A and B are shown apart, each in its own frame.
Chain A
Amino acid sequence: MSSEKVHELVIVGSGPAGYTAAIYAARAELAPVQYEGSVTAGGALMNTTEVENFPGFPTGIMGPELMESLRKQAERFGTQLITDDIVSMKLDGDIKELEDGSGNKLKAKAVILATGSAYKEIGLENEKRLSGRGVSWCATCDGFFFREKVLAVVGGGDSAMEEANFLTRFATKVYVIHRRDSLRASKIMVDRAKANPKIEFIWNTEVIDVLGADKVEALKLRNTVTNEESEKAFDGLFVAIGHLPRSELLVGQIDLDGEGYVKVEGRSTRTNLKGVFACGDLVDHTYRQAITAAGSGCQAALDAERFLAGH
């Protein structure tokens, strides 16, 4: 890719937000260049199974299949898709400068940031040490290795419920460990988990250590009400305690909030830098759904289009 050419628009990221931004921008003939991510292309939905709540799919659709469709739609209108990462960005000034993981440099008049979020770790030393040795963040990837095992899922949101339900295909028993006595997951997901005979809840409890020499053997737990500590044997630990915005490349050059989410102006996708727009999980604390991400990707493309037209 020539480093002299100045592109109209570069889109960084490729979940529902990034691909929707690309569909709109490509149809507006902005010839967007989209960096999908070398190993994260398609985003968080690539690691889910069935998506039941994306409008237009009355019988549900598999996450990866939905993302493949969005990708094709972006490509159909002329998006240049690149399966690589952006590793550095300089976003102030009229011409934005970006560099990818292969060392290519490129310039653009406008940039849409849609890098989404990454899973959160509990933050225990032994969690890291036993990662891939019984500690996992991806039930659809790793559940298969826990046939006839007893598992713990930590978390109280929709993704924790989904992981727990999925894991009962393999495990004999799945305990959902949650630090409160109620869940923030949606009612349908909670009802499904509660109706599943293989799932049991351990309330008001947090994981304070992961025990095992070279694989997970037990968890050290603490009751958040009584502070009482205990140990319980488990073969695996699936962590589903939420996500963190992937804004590490933006620190120091764009306004972020206290948790690292990109700040946008009002209901728009405009960041504090001219010509830089942000959408999807990167800006959204609240909703974090495929459809809201897609909606904000559309907004970002329209905001970028207006910005470029006025330039």
Chain B
Amino acid sequence: MSAAQPVTTATFDEVVLKSSTPVLVDFWAEWCGPCRAVGPILDQIADEYAGKIKVVKLNTDEESAIAMKYGITSIPTLNVYVNGEVVKTVIGAKPKPALLKELSDYL
């Protein structure tokens, strides 16, 4: 099982912006209830769609510079990056079928 891996300010460029596959970044924090609720669903998506989309998570407490750069004011925020650009944003925790539908263009 390949769960969503953490990404940091130091690795963001390499892991997210320069990725050859779409990357879903989960902006989250420890103290955010809805983030904890959606976490396991993202782990499942990371596993089931491995190779098609990369799923990573960015802790907004520890990596606030990146969160600020992308104007995150609400978590969880899920951004999809293709070729270094944000192509899709999903705000708030959603059930898996709803998330898969939102992400369908990238799966």
Contact = CB atoms under 8 A, between A and B. Distances in A.
Contacts, number: 71
Contact of A132 (B29, B37, B91, B95): B91
B48 to A, nearest CB: 12
Contacts of A214: 71
Contacts of B77: 132
B73 A138 contact: no
Interface residues of A, number: 28
Nearest to B90: A132
B94 A141 contact: no
Given A64-B33, A141-B32, A144-B29, A134 B73 contact: yes
B75 interface: yes
B95 A39 contact: yes
Contact of A38 (B35, B72, B91, B96): B96
Interface residues of B, number: 27
B5 interface: no
Nearest to B71: A215
Contact of B41 (A38, A136, A145): A38
Nearest to B39: A39
Nearest to A67: B33
B95 A133 contact: no
B73 A38 contact: no
Interface of A: 38-42, 46-47, 64, 83, 85, 87, 101-102, 131-134, 136, 138, 140-142, 144-146, 214-215, 236
14 contacts: A38-B37, A38-B95, A39-B41, A46-B37, A132-B73, A133-B73, A136-B73, A136-B74, A141-B32, A141-B34, A141-B75, A142-B74, A142-B75, A214-B71
Interface of B: 29, 31-35, 37-38, 40-41, 60-61, 67, 71-75, 77, 89, 91-97
